[in-house]
A and B are shown apart, each in its own frame.
Chain A
Amino acid sequence: MLDFQTLLQIFWTGLANSTYAVLLAAAFALVLKVVKVWNFAQAGLMGIAYYTMYLAIQKLGWPGYAALVLGAAAAIVAALAMEVFGLQTFRRRHSPPLTFFIFTLVLSELVQYVLAMVAGTEPVSLAATIMSASYIVGGVVVSEWDLKAIAVTVVLMALLFVVMKRTRHGQYMIAAADNPHLSRLYGVNVRRVYALTFVLAAVLIAVAMYLFGTRASMVPNTPLEMMLFAVIAALLGGMGNVFGAAVAAVFLGLLRAFSILVIPSAWQSLILYALLFITILFFPQGVRVARRARKKPAANSAAAGA
């Protein structure tokens, strides 16, 4: 039963399913790196983006790309509102870290309850059917969704890389991440940089939720668990290493896919929490040994294959 074909199939499907996790991990790591906030409100943004797209596709009959634009717009508005009305206020007041933690986490829960009230707790999906046309390549089932998801993820991560490393705004982001006070002295508008970071994160989140929603369905409290996955990836990738987090997400996704072989399905959902503990216990600062060696490969693989 455990022939090469099966393993290859698990690998491919695991890889395809880790695409949205990569985007979510990158979004989380990006905010953590630049704004220095553990953005637990990401789960709320994920919920907002998802249910906006659900509304557009299933209730209003919009085409997918238009719904995606609307979902991204909703996530951007929500993220900016949180930054402008929430985080800026707390920063101005020099609130303790506790306030930021509670605020972002409770915001996610608030969104979850609002969604449960408005949309109910039945699972909803973005696509009419979660089956997509598939081909058999060398004995492995490759669906159109797989190819689309991987292509979109690779392109987005490459774009993010270019924005961060090659544009003026990206340099501002890295400067602000490194030392916000000094960058302010050099004339960088740190507030605008933070806002831009949230916009980028919101776009990543919306695309990730679109990919997820055309493959699976979710209920209002799904994002919290999905976010936990992103948090673990961000930790494993090393604090503030956006592309490290993306690579870690692929690794975790594959690990979870292959665990089906050894762990009974009733206990599957525990793997995530076990991984979290292992990460905290053994890799609190991310995978250090490989980090220096991985800096380039991480960037390359993000550009070439994630």
Chain B
Amino acid sequence: MEYVASLLVLIGLYVILASSFNLIIGFGGLISIAHPIFFALGAYTVGVLSTQFGLHPVLSIVAGFVVAMLASFMLSLPSLRISGDYLLITSIGFQLGLLEIIKNLDFVGGASGLGGIPNVVQQHRSLVFAAVALGLAVAVVLGLRALVRGPYGRAIQAMRDDELAFVALGRNAMNIKITIFAVGSGLAGVAGGLYAYYYQYLTPDQFQILQSAMILTMVVVGGMGSVYGPVVGAVLLLLLPEAITFLNLPSSVMGPLQGLIFTSLVILFLFLRPQGLVPSSKRLSAGGGHE
């Protein structure tokens, strides 16, 4: 039961991560690989606030959201000013650079990690966390569904599909890009906060490029630009590694093997089923996304 509950926590967290990343890359058409760093920022914000200031869990998770969102401006403002292409390159640098900073800062534990995050749930710990994580995941998915099906969502997709026409209609594409990037990143920060409270221990290594590959795989396999695609992708890709843990391989092989599975899945899907398992709605599905 404990095992199932902890798996459910992970599923909830990754559904939030994959869905928020899908908002950025699938709906917004903004290519970034820095999603794990916002996850990390949320987690570290919670870690520092709860260990050093003893802040209330809800407040510190909100702080995690705000910090991740503010950090997203640091990435989106300079790079989106020029063109979408630059975002990817800056995001690689942002991801690696911030992790490097975290490794060198003493008050967040440095390379050895930040421990001692208080346990905020005493009874039925995993079950409570699973309920919170899944509840939040459902809220995020439904919220995003409402967002992209509403007028603002139509504006987002219009901007993605033909930015020139969109601007010609007098709309501000820059505002939309920065907003969805901030919202997506903030949601990753929330997932990070939850992660910190559940595992009570953080190291910079947990937020490496493997995480980027994993979240990207969930979105590509599930279906970019569809609301439920990343949910399917997240569930599937969390259950898959659980299956190979039964093979009892040494951890030095396990890590790379997982990475190998994720990356080859992405490549296979790019070739064979670019629209993902759950294609986005008909209007957009031509050519597996957008032109």
Rounded to whole angstroms, the CA-CA distance of A270 and B98 in the bound complex is 9
Rounded to whole angstroms, the CA-CA distance of A121 and B104 in the bound complex is 22
Main secondary structure of the interface of A (DSSP, over half): helix
What total of chain B residues lie within 8 Å of the partner, measured CB to CB?
46
Bitwise interface map of B from 232 to 270 toward A, beta carbon under 8 Å scored 1, else 0 = 000000000000000000001101110110011011001
Known: A106-B263, A109-B209, A276-B93. A270 touches B88 (CB 8 A): no
User: What is the CB-to-nearest-CB distance from A118 to chain B, in angstroms, rounded to a whole number?
Assistant: 9
Closest to B92 in A: A228
- Is A228 touching B263 in the complex (CB atoms < 8 A)? no
Known: A102-B216, A103-B270. A97 touches B85 (CB 8 A): yes
Q: Determine the chain A residues whose CB is within 8 A of the CB of B31 once the complex forms.
A: 97-98, 101-102
Is A55 close to B, CB under 8 A?
A: no
Which of chain A's residues 216-249 have a Cβ closer than 8 Å to chain B? Answer: 221, 224-225, 228, 231, 235
User: What is the CB-to-nearest-CB distance from B90 to chain A, in angstroms, rounded to a whole number?
Assistant: 5
Q: Determine the chain B residues whose CB is within 8 A of the CB of A96 once the complex forms.
A: 29, 287, 289-291
Q: Determine the chain A residues whose CB is within 8 A of the CB of B150 once the complex forms.
A: none
Rounded to whole angstroms, the CA-CA distance of A221 and B100 in the bound complex is 15
Q: Determine the chain B residues whose CB is within 8 A of the CB of A274 once the complex forms.
A: 97
- Is B267 touching A107 in the complex (CB atoms < 8 A)? yes
Known: A109-B259, A121-B252. A225 touches B96 (CB 8 A): yes
- Is B97 touching A273 in the complex (CB atoms < 8 A)? yes
Rounded to whole angstroms, the CA-CA distance of A225 and B95 in the bound complex is 12
Total A-B contacts with CB atoms under 8 angstroms apart: 116
Main secondary structure of the interface of B (DSSP, over half): helix
Q: Determine the chain B residues whose CB is within 8 A of the CB of A113 once the complex forms.
A: 256-257, 259-260, 263
Is A151 close to B, CB under 8 A?
A: no
Rounded to whole angstroms, the CA-CA distance of A55 and B249 in the bound complex is 25
- Is A110 touching B93 in the complex (CB atoms < 8 A)? no
Q: Determine the chain B residues whose CB is within 8 A of the CB of A97 once the complex forms.
A: 31, 84-85
Known: A110-B267, A281-B78. A228 touches B93 (CB 8 A): yes
Is B33 close to A, CB under 8 A?
A: yes
Is B276 close to A, CB under 8 A?
A: no
Q: Determine the chain A residues whose CB is within 8 A of the CB of B216 once the complex forms.
A: 102, 106
Rounded to whole angstroms, the CA-CA distance of A269 and B97 in the bound complex is 8
Is B79 close to A, CB under 8 A?
A: yes
Is B153 close to A, CB under 8 A?
A: no
- Is A224 touching B78 in the complex (CB atoms < 8 A)? no
Rounded to whole angstroms, the CA-CA distance of A101 and B216 in the bound complex is 12
Rounded to whole angstroms, the CA-CA distance of A266 and B105 in the bound complex is 10
Closest to A105 in B: B33
Rounded to whole angstroms, the CA-CA distance of A64 and B154 in the bound complex is 59
User: What is the CB-to-nearest-CB distance from A49 to chain B, in angstroms, rounded to a whole number?
Assistant: 19
Is B25 close to A, CB under 8 A?
A: yes
User: What is the CB-to-nearest-CB distance from A128 to chain B, in angstroms, rounded to a whole number?
Assistant: 26
Bitwise interface map of B from 108 to 119 toward A, beta carbon under 8 Å scored 1, else 0 = 000000000000
Cβ 8 A contact of B209, one of A90, A224, A235, A276 = A224
Cβ 8 A contact of B252, one of A90, A95, A120, A224 = A120
Rounded to whole angstroms, the CA-CA distance of A112 and B216 in the bound complex is 17
Rounded to whole angstroms, the CA-CA distance of A273 and B93 in the bound complex is 5
- Is A94 touching B287 in the complex (CB atoms < 8 A)? yes
Bitwise interface map of B from 272 to 291 toward A, beta carbon under 8 Å scored 1, else 0 = 00100000000000011111
User: What is the CB-to-nearest-CB distance from A15 to chain B, in angstroms, rounded to a whole number?
Assistant: 25
24 pairs from A and B in contact (CB 8 Å cutoff):
A96-B291, A97-B85, A98-B25, A98-B29, A98-B31, A99-B288, A102-B266, A106-B266, A107-B263, A109-B263, A110-B263, A113-B257, A113-B259, A113-B260, A114-B260, A117-B256, A117-B257, A228-B96, A272-B97, A273-B96, A280-B86, A280-B90, A281-B78, A284-B81
Q: What 4 A-B pairs have minimum CB-CB distances, sorted nearest first? A: A273-B97, A113-B259, A276-B93, A110-B263
